């Protein structure tokens, strides 16, 4: 079995540019019990920009732990169905009348982050990678067959789109460490695409980046970042 992340682009180049302070804060706080980690990483994951507080989602950590404990398979077994079922079960509960999400919400960041914390046990959870719009934009840049398709403004997921996103990690990684590396590389790419767009375009077009442009940005960055 390969010890490499099996994608056709240079993961290490991007992962090595993940902000050191992001990494340091995460590594320090993930060792805490999940409830403490949730409070400590709330701002780190930009959840302070939502309409709810840590106390509103804390009660759902117990359910997240129950759901993750039911999954016996490891990353190399690609437990895509179990992971997808857990995500949608937790999101459904977060959307109930006592939950912080609206009944029509399709957001993915909060339920995924709760599952990540519940499954981490002091280290990065490879079965529930951290997901956000940066990761989703990069994933679309690498996988879309339609180059005219534009990148996402926010991370919202149907069952199919969530499955495709998580499956990208399972198809290309065998360990939690590899999943963490791939996630961080995707995050840096998504952030870089946005910064390049801001430098070239007017504000109203910043959020309308076609896949074709995003691919050009990433190649240009890689060509010129090592001069």
Summarize pLDDT for 128-168 with one digit per residue, the tens: 999 999 999 999 999 999 999 999 988 999 999 999 999 99
Q: Is position 206 within any domain?
A: yes
Q: Is position 111 within any domain?
A: yes
Q: Is position 4 within any domain?
A: no
Domain count, the chain: 1
pTM for this entry: 0.94
Q: Is position 5 within any domain?
A: no
pLDDT for position 226: 75
Q: Is position 168 within any domain?
A: yes
Q: CA-to-CA distance for 191 and 214, rounded, in angstroms?
A: 11
State the average pLDDT over residues 183-201: 90
* Collapsed DSSP state (helix, strand, coil) of residue 196: helix
Q: 169 with 179: CB under 8 angstroms?
A: yes
Out of 126-130, 170-174, 192-196, pick the least confident: 192-196
pLDDT for position 146: 97
Judge whether residue 170 has pLDDT over 60: yes
Tokens for 92? 């459904």
Q: Is position 1 within any domain?
A: no
Ramachandran region, residue 121 (left: φ > 0; alpha: ψ -120 to 50; beta: rest): left
Give the pLDDT confidence of 4-55 residue by residue, as tens digits. Answer: 888 999 999 999 999 999 999 999 999 999 999 999 999 999 998 888 999 9
With pLDDT > 70 as the criterion, what percentage of the chain qualifies?
Answer: 95
pLDDT for position 1: 39
Average pLDDT, the chain: 93
Judge whether residue 195 has pLDDT over 70: yes
Q: CA-to-CA distance for 213 and 124, rounded, in angstroms?
A: 32
Q: Is position 66 within any domain?
A: yes
pLDDT for position 206: 61
Q: CA-to-CA distance for 108 and 142, rounded, in angstroms?
A: 20
Judge whether residue 91 has pLDDT over 90: yes
pLDDT for position 227: 60
Q: 146 with 117: CB under 8 angstroms?
A: no
For residue 191, give its domain range.
11-224
Q: Is position 112 within any domain?
A: yes
Judge whether residue 86 has pLDDT over 90: yes
Residue appearing with tokens 């939950």: 99
């Amino acid at each position: 079995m390969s010890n490499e992340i099996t994608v056709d682009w240079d993961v290490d180049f991007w992962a090595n540019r993940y902000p050191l302070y992001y990494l340091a804060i995460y590594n320090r706080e993930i060792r805490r019990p999940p409830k403490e980690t949730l409070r400590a990483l709330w701002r780190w994951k930009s959840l302070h920009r939502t309409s709810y507080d840590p106390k509103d989602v804390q009660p759902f950590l117990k359910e997240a732990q129950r759901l993750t404990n039911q999954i016996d398979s490891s990353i190399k077994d690609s437990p895509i169905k179990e992971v997808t079922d857990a995500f949608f079960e937790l999101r459904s509960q977060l959307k109930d009348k006592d939950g912080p999400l609206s009944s029509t919400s399709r957001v993915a960041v909060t339920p995924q982050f709760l599952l990540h914390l519940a499954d981490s046990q002091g280290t990065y959870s490879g079965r529930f990678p951290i997901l956000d719009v940066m990761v989703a934009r990069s994933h679309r840049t690498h996988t879309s067959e339609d180059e005219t398709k534009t990148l996402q403004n926010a991370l919202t997921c149907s069952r199919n789109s969530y499955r495709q996103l998580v499956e990208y990690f399972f198809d290309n990684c065998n360990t939690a460490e590899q999943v963490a590396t791939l996630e961080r590389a995707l995050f840096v790419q998504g952030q870089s695409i946005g910064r390049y767009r801001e430098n070239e375009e007017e504000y109203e077009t910043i959020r309308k980046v076609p896949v074709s442009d995003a691919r050009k940005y990433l190649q240009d960055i890689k060509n010129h970042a090592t001069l």
